[in-house]
Structure 1
Amino acid sequence: MASGLAWRCSARQIPLRLTAGVFFLNSGLSKRGADQATAEGLHQFAAATYPFLAKQDAQTFVRLLSAGELAIAATLLLPVVPAAVAGAVLTAFSVGTIGLYLRTPGMRQEGSLRPTEQGIALAKDVWLLGIGASLIAEGVDEHR
């Protein structure tokens, strides 16, 4: 125990949680003040793959995306959040971005999982899936 809080973050989790957490913190903060054109672009891109998002206003979508990314950052950066919880949150988000990669035309080379130049930005999110899965595995192991 430290300062009365039960620290749930082991030393081996710190690099994983910091790497992904700071990434999400930056991404969430960057989207907070998104202009209309940026909001519309992000919204259209997401709605093309996930049609249920089309009903939402672009600015509202980006505000919610920003808030979600900041919540993910907090989950990863706060050491009192159990590894399995942080990993589940990160894994869920990364599955969504990998879905964008797999379902959006032009992101992958024809007949392959290999990214095109345009797809690299989303394909790289596979590292988030790996971090999330690692945190879940560690959390399950800690629970035993």
Structure 2
Amino acid sequence: MKLSHLPLRLAAGAFILNSGLTKRNLPPEAAGQLQGMAANAVPQVTKMKPEEFGKALSAGEIALGAALLTPFVPSSLAGAALTAFGGGLVRMYLNTPGMTQEGSAVRPSQDGTAIAKDVWLLGGGLTLLVDALMSGRSGSGDAR
């Protein structure tokens, strides 16, 4: 891992790990609410029971957070995973009614601001991924 990746990986990793840890014992109603929002990005999640979805979401966030915090996980892999996660959040935001201002496809409404801010996770993932790919071209890899 490059030293320059450390602040981004620490910030995103700690944030996502904490989020996953707090979701470990979600009540079925809360898991169902999260599942309903997630279905706006990934409709297939509706095939799961809310409790299963909550456990899967928690485990996924814990795994991603831990991967970002683990120095020997290559930035290309961590970046790809963070890009997928952040992209899913942005897709959910864009596809959930009431999250954007009327007449705008992207500007957040009052309700959408809390989710729209997660675009930083997508940007961070793309930064890690692009930097790792560009470093690979020069032969320097993630060792810096």
Residue equivalent to 1:57: 49
Residues 40 and 95 in structure 2, CA contact (< 8 A), matched pair in contact too: no
Aligned residue type for 1:131: G
Pairs aligned (count)? 136
Cα displacement string for residues 42-73 of structure 1 (whole angstroms, at most 9, x for unaligned residues): 12222244322111100000100011101111
Normalization by structure 2: what TM-score? 0.90
Cα displacement string for residues 75-103 of structure 1 (whole angstroms, at most 9, x for unaligned residues): 11111111111100000011111011111
Matched, 1:84 2:76: yes
Residue equivalent to 2:135: 142
SS at match of 1:118: coil
Cα distance in 1, alignment partners of residues 97 and 29 from structure 2: 22
Normalization by structure 1: what TM-score? 0.90
Out of 16, 27, 36, which is 1:44 matched to?
36
Out of 70, 73, 77, which is 2:65 matched to?
73
Matched, 1:114 2:76: no
- Give the CA deviation at 1:128: 0.4
Out of 8, 17, 39, which is 1:25 matched to?
17
Query: Where does structure 1 lack aligned partners over 5 or more consecutive residues?
Result: 1-8
Identical aligned pairs, as a percentage? 48
Q: Which runs of 4+ in 1 moved over 4 A?
A: none
Query: Where does structure 2 lack aligned partners over 5 or more consecutive residues?
Result: 139-144
